[in-house]
Every structure is written in C-alpha cells, then in structure tokens.
Amino acid sequence: MKISTKGRYALRMLLDLAEHQEDGYVALKDIAERQGISKKYLEQIIPLFNKSDILRTTRGFQGGYRLAKAPAACTVGEILRLTEGSISPVACLEHTPIECERCNDCATLPVWQGLYQIISEYLDGITLQDILNQQKERSSDTYVI
C-alpha cells in the first residue's frame, strides 16, 4: 500500500485546521501558504470531504473551512479512506464479503487479512489530536542554550 500525494496533503490540511481550530473558519489560501501546498491542489481535495462529517465550509468574506468535530474524533484511517478509497493491501479485501473466486482456496488470504487488520487498527488508532500532541512534545524537547 502506498499513500498518494492527495492522502498526505489531505492529512496535512486537516492537521492545519486542527491546529488553528480556535481561529474559526480558515481560508484555503492560508492553509496552502502555511503547508507549502498549492491552493489549486487543496481545492481538488476539498470535495472528497463534502459528504463526510469531518469538514465544515462557509462562504463569503469570513468564509473558509474548519473541522466539524474535535481533532480527537478524527482518525488518520478515516481520512485516508476518504482520500485513497481504500487502505486494503490487496484488491480482494476491498469488498465485504470477499468477491474473489479463489478466496476459499487462497493460501495467502490470511496473510493479507492479518496485514489489513494491523494497518486498520494502527491508522484508526491515531487521531489528529494525537499527531498534534506528538508535534508539541517534539518541539518542547528541542531547546537551545
């Protein structure tokens, strides 16, 4: 499994919103500038979140974007599923029930199921808040004399 640029940038965009949550609605140009991502690219990512419960949008002079729920309630797994479509390591696990005609005789299926479970548990166990907390810890550990 390889996470695309779209998935990585979406995660950075949502982390930026989580970090600036107290600022209200945040303009896309501000996120783009802080993250070093083109505004045009972010505009292509935003529609992926339109039907989710992650992002709120408002238009107008004070318009912009903000998280619809607390950073502690947004998991990396949820974000990557929206941007990548699937986090499955193999195509046969993308559907439930498994539609592969060989699934009953496949010797490697348990390997892929185990990997998928580990990937899902790991990514679903990390929230935006966890990442922000880790970032704060790393920056507070750095000091200069």
Mean of the per-residue pLDDT values of the chain: 91
Q: Which two tokens stand for residue 34?
A: 């802080």
Could you tell me the residue ranges of all domains in the chain?
Answer: 5-141
* Residue with the larger pLDDT of the pair 60 and 72: 72
Q: Architecture of 5-141 per CATH?
A: Orthogonal Bundle (1.10)
Q: Which of 18-22, 42-46, 135-139 has the lowest mean pLDDT?
A: 135-139
CA angle, 140 then 144 then 145, to 5° = 135
Whether the pLDDT of residue 142 is over 80: the answer is: no
| pLDDT attached to residue 145 | 62
**pLDDT for residue 143 is more than 90:** no
- Report pLDDT for 139: 80
**C-alpha 127 chain-centroid distance:** 9
Angle at 132 between CA 139 and CA 128, to 5 degrees: 160
pTM: 0.87
Q: Which pLDDT tens digit goes with each residue over 69-99?
A: 999 999 999 999 999 988 999 888 888 888 8
pLDDT exceeds cutoff 90 at 39: yes
Q: How far apart are CA 122 and CA 63, in angstroms?
A: 34
End-to-end CA distance of the chain: 43
